[in-house]
């Protein structure tokens, strides 16, 4: 957002931007082959993360080009042939002060939006519309909706054949996805039942460690309906790569419909205390 104000949103990455724009539908909600950039944002936090990322790219590019120009200039102007008798100068106060102060100014310039973003991510809006518990287990997730009685269920990765049948992406689709309403503040309370896991959905700009013995909080407000995928992002054991996260962002009405059905279907099926091994069969 701050970048918009600075007016530096011009298309350095015009090609990539065009690609994002062309595929702004819900089909983009999953990672794609050869994707070079962050996934498109569907929450205000992720929008700011992408803006911040872009700001850093501009700064890094400018610094790299400046250093490259200096190197080329030195190589051409001060090589042995062009400059046979080198100067014996060893200090230049002005230059030394400049190369200390300028990086400090650049870092402060980066720190201000960085801290603003950190606080935005870290501060859960008061009175979230929905709270979901995400319990990381070796190697699947258990979800509970504390506002909906005993609604609790396990979410396991689909095996390849089942994923193909269900038209879900391989290694990302799950049997029981999480449902959330669109444009609502969702608070995630996450913990680990055995080892440290991490609940992460790139399109939401959310990544929070699930630590046994404590509850961590994070939040998101998805502004676009669709299916979004994430993965456990803390190395948690042999099947760490096989405990994906699938979130379906749906309309209010659809969410209520799912909630009613889910209450009947899942009530108290998953369990906080029992840890069972996820099926590893291929
Ligand atoms: Cu894990």
Taking the centre of ligand 1 as the mean of its atom positions, its distance from the CA of residue 137, in whole angstroms, is 7
Q: Provide the pLDDT for residue 267.
A: 64
% pLDDT > 70, the chain: 84
User: Could you tell me if 244 and 145 lie in one domain?
Assistant: yes
- Assigned domain for 277 exists: no
Taking the centre of ligand 1 as the mean of its atom positions, its distance from the CA of residue 115, in whole angstroms, is 28
Give per-residue burial for 163-187: e unless 16+ CB within 10 Å, then b: beeeebbeebbbbbbbbbbbebbbb
User: Could you tell me if 139 and 252 lie in one domain?
Assistant: yes
User: Could you tell me if 116 and 234 lie in one domain?
Assistant: no
User: Could you tell me if 116 and 189 lie in one domain?
Assistant: no
Taking the centre of ligand 1 as the mean of its atom positions, its distance from the CA of residue 171, in whole angstroms, is 14
Model confidence at 149, pLDDT cuts 50, 70, 90, reads: confident
Residues measured by CB to lie within 5 Å of ligand 1, the ion = 197, 232, 236
User: Could you tell me if 65 and 160 lie in one domain?
Assistant: no
Give per-residue burial for 34-64: e unless 16+ CB within 10 Å, then b: eeeeebbbbbebbebbbbbebbeeeeeeeee
Rounded average pLDDT over 93-116: 96
Taking the centre of ligand 1 as the mean of its atom positions, its distance from the CA of residue 207, in whole angstroms, is 12
Taking the centre of ligand 1 as the mean of its atom positions, its distance from the CA of residue 55, in whole angstroms, is 32
Taking the centre of ligand 1 as the mean of its atom positions, its distance from the CA of residue 172, in whole angstroms, is 14
Taking the centre of ligand 1 as the mean of its atom positions, its distance from the CA of residue 231, in whole angstroms, is 8
Report the CATH number that the domain containing residue 227 is assigned in CATH: 2.60.40.420
- Assigned domain for 72 exists: yes
Element (H, E) at 246: strand 244-250
Taking the centre of ligand 1 as the mean of its atom positions, its distance from the CA of residue 277, in whole angstroms, is 12
User: Could you tell me if 107 and 143 lie in one domain?
Assistant: no
Taking the centre of ligand 1 as the mean of its atom positions, its distance from the CA of residue 26, in whole angstroms, is 26
% pLDDT > 90, the chain: 76
- Assigned domain for 282 exists: no
Which phi and psi angles does 104 have, rounded to 5°?
Answer: -65, -45
Taking the centre of ligand 1 as the mean of its atom positions, its distance from the CA of residue 198, in whole angstroms, is 6
User: Could you tell me if 89 and 10 lie in one domain?
Assistant: yes
- Higher model confidence: residue 113 or residue 277? 113
Report the CATH number that the domain containing residue 102 is assigned in CATH: 1.10.287.90
- Assigned domain for 13 exists: yes
Model confidence at 165, pLDDT cuts 50, 70, 90, reads: very high
| Domain that residue 222 falls in | 130-266
User: Could you tell me if 43 and 138 lie in one domain?
Assistant: no
Taking the centre of ligand 1 as the mean of its atom positions, its distance from the CA of residue 214, in whole angstroms, is 16
Taking the centre of ligand 1 as the mean of its atom positions, its distance from the CA of residue 244, in whole angstroms, is 9
- Assigned domain for 200 exists: yes
């Amino acid at each position: 957002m701050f970048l918009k104000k600075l007016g530096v949103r011009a298309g350095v990455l015009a090609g990539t931007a065009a690609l994002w724009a062309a595929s702004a539908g819900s089909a983009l909600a999953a990672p794609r082959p050869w994707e070079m950039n962050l996934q498109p944002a569907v929450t205000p936090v992720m929008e700011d993360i992408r803006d911040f990322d872009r700001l850093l790219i501009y700064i890094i590019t400018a610094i790299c080009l400046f250093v490259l120009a200096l190197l080329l200039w030195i190589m051409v102007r001060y090589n042995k042939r062009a400059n046979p008798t080198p100067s014996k100068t060893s200090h230049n106060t002005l230059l030394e002060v400049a190369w200390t102060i300028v990086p400090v100014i650049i870092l402060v310039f980066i720190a201000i939006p960085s801290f603003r973003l950190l606080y935005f991510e870290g501060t859960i809006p008061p009175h979230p519309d929905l709270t979901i518990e995400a319990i990381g287990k070796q190697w699947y997730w258990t979800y509970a909706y504390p506002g909906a009685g005993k609604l609790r269920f396990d979410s396991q990765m689909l095996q390849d054949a089942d994923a193909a049948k269900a038209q879900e992406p391989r290694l990302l689709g799950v049997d029981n996805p999480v449902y959330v309403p669109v444009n609502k503040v969702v608070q995630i309370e996450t913990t680990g039942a055995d080892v440290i896991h991490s609940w992460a959905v790139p399109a939401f700009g959310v990544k929070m460690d699930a630590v046994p013995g404590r509850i961590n909080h994070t939040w998101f407000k998805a502004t676009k309906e669709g299916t979004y995928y994430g993965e456990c992002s803390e190395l948690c054991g042999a099947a760490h790569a096989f405990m994906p996260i699938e979130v379906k962002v749906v309309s209010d009405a659809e969410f209520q419909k799912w909630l009613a059905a889910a209450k009947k279907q899942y009530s108290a099926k998953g369990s906080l205390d029992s840890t069972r091994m996820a099926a590893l069969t291929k």
